[in-house]
Amino acid sequence: MEPAGNLPVGSYHIVYHVGEQLSEYLDFENVMDLNERIKLVAGVGEEVVTMPELRKLLEEKSNPIAYDGFEPSGLAHLAFGVFRPLLLKDLIKAGIKFKIWLADWFAWINNKMGGDLEKIKTTGEYFIEVWKAAGVPSEKVEYLFASDVMDSIEYWERVVRIAKVTTVARATRALTIMGRREGEMSEVAQYFYPVMQVSDIFHLEADITQLGLDQRRANMLAREVGPKLGLWKPVVISHHMLINLEGSIEPEGLDEVGRDLHMIDTKMSKSKPSSSIFIHDSEEEIKSKIMAAYCPPEEFKGNPLLDYAKHLVFRSFESMKVERKPKFGGDIEFKNYKTLEKSYMAGELHPLDLKNAMVLYIDKMVKPLRDHFEKKKSARELHELVKSYQVTR
């Protein structure tokens, strides 16, 4: 397997891209249950740091702890309300104990929801309702608000200890986890963010950090500072970032920070409603957005609809059927993403046919969540309240 690039300067890590010779790390003559667990856990990531460490962890612990952290802000979109629960369910199947960190103070530092902490906390409650609506079993996931522990001297002592072994340059490089460029930073508090996020990993006793690729720098920092403080080195499993409806064509010549920022700029974001599909969107709204989406013929790079087909449809359904009139070749059914992409790249599948199919499948995935918030009074009230808040980036 080929080590991935874009690693922090001054450190060396063995990184494995999921799907590339995964069988090297599966001992099919040994315990099959372990192999299945490895497949499930590694399968939620686009990158694993590292596969041998993941195997060792799962050999030693029946129920290792993984975590993800979320800044409560805005309404739930596909990436948050559909994709994330799909990944969580696989981790739970594999015996992972998952902790969801509702990072309200982080959202406050990042000036989300206008910097109003009460609105941020209310949005956190809405987030929990979204995951419940998506079928995430509450008894198997622990929800924690960051503000509940931030008055602890132990928490802040750990933050200071991490800061003491982190250079200013290293912390600055990690600021991209906030989704902001260096020139956008105007408060000293924002420099606390990376070391606080690293502290969270150890506070939560997380064996695995299971966040998006956009959070990779903080997780790699945790691997660097952990051993320096006599702590552990977490396994980093970074999941894919769904791209927004406008598409994602990476300019040539970007450096590491530029690539990170490009990924952040082109991911599906709650602060860019016109380029995102939300769990509250009607079928008509979903259709309108998908029909206007970037979807060049015979091109898969940066194509959001193929991105959603790969990471949403084929995670949720055994196959994907595209309905077409007989004069355009009739209906066609794809058993896996590779055959869909091959057909599209060959010009056998027209962009309009792909869009029509994606409207149906995305609406199927969104409908149970949409119905939950329409029919359950307390959920509907939470939605209306969060919807009334002004979302700030």
Per-residue pLDDT, 28: 41
Structure tokens at 62: 């029946």
Up-side HSE of residue 343: CA atoms within 13 Å toward CB?
Answer: 20
pLDDT per residue over 98-110, tens digit each?
999 999 988 888 8
Q: Are 181 and 231 in contact (CB under 8 A)?
A: no
Q: Give me the sign of the Cα torsion angle 328, 331, 332, 337.
A: positive
| 80 has pLDDT over 90 | yes
Structure tokens at 298: 């015979």
Q: Give every CB contact of residue 304 below 8 A, 6+ residues apart in sequence.
A: 242, 243, 244, 245, 246, 247, 248, 293, 294, 295
pLDDT per residue over 239-273, tens digit each?
999 999 998 777 777 777 667 666 777 787 776 77
Catalogue all structural domains in the chain, each as residue range(s) with its CATH number: 16-238 (3.40.50.620), 256-388 (1.10.240.10)
| SS3 assignment, position 235 | strand
* For residues 13-28, average pLDDT: 47
* For residues 177-200, average pLDDT: 74
Lowest-confidence region among 52-61, 127-136, 167-176: 167-176
* For residues 115-141, average pLDDT: 93
Per-residue pLDDT, 186: 62
Structure tokens at 221: 């920092």
Q: Are 223 and 49 in contact (CB under 8 A)?
A: yes
Q: CA-based Rg of the chain, rounded to a whole angstrom? A: 21
Instruction: Report in angstroms the alpha-carbon separations of 114 from 96, 103, 391, 393.
Output: 35, 15, 7, 9
